[in-house]
Amino acid sequence: MKLKVNNELQKIWKDKRIPKETKLIYSYICAKGLDKIIIDINVGEIQKVINIKNKGLRKNLKILEELKYLIYKEYDVGMYTISIN
């Protein structure tokens, strides 16, 4: 069995402009999305993986959005809809 790594994940891990915490969040989103285009996620889910608050999550999502990796919308406090580009 061969493990395939998403090309976007390879690309993001090599991108020096992105902090490690942001890369971990993106990896979690991609793993949860698993070939889906749009997913819903909340800060509580990510807190199981990374010690982060909603403000920090929003900051990291903004970095990813500015670099065209995803588009996000916070529809309620701590709850996000994410479209992976």
Does 68 map to a domain? yes
What confidence tens digit (pLDDT) does each residue in 28-68 have? 888 888 777 788 999 999 999 899 999 999 999 999 999 99
Q: Looking up tokens 């997913």, which residue turns up?
A: 39
Longest dimension (CA), the chain: 41
Does 21 map to a domain? yes
Domain that holds residue 64: 7-84
Does 30 map to a domain? yes
In the chain, how many domains are there? Answer: 1
Q: How high is the pLDDT of residue 2?
A: 47
Does 41 map to a domain? yes
Does 74 map to a domain? yes
